[in-house]
Amino acid sequence: LAVGAVGDIAVLRLRPGRFTFVDAVGASLVAEQRLVSDGIVIGGTWWPNEAANDLSDTERFEARAHETHVDV
C-alpha cells in the first residue's frame, strides 16, 4: 500500500434473522445473524453483490461426507 494507491475492499453486513448452518458431516448450528457480502470495490470500481438478499439458493445444499484426500 502507498498513499494515493488504489485499494480493493469487501463490504460486509451482519444480517439478522434465524439461520441454520450445516457442515459437511451434518452437524448444524442455529444462529440469529449471518455475514453477507454487499459487494466489493476492485481498482476503484464498485461491484455490488446482486444476490446478497436472495437466500433461496441456500436450501439446495445438503450435508454429506466429503473425502479428505484423493489418491492420484
List, for residues 6-47, the tens digit of each pLDDT value. 889 999 999 999 999 999 988 999 999 999 999 999 888 899
Residue 20 is predicted with a pLDDT of 94
For 36-49, b where at least 16 C-beta lie within 10 A, e where not — what string? Answer: eeebeeeeeeeeeb
Residue 65 is predicted with a pLDDT of 52
Is-above-0.85 flag for pTM? no
d(CA 29, CA 24): 12
Task: Answer whether 16's CB lies under 8 Å from 32's CB.
Answer: yes
In the chain, where are the structural domains located? 9-52
The three three-digit cell numbers of residue 8, written as one number: 480493493
More confident of the two residues 19 and 68: 19
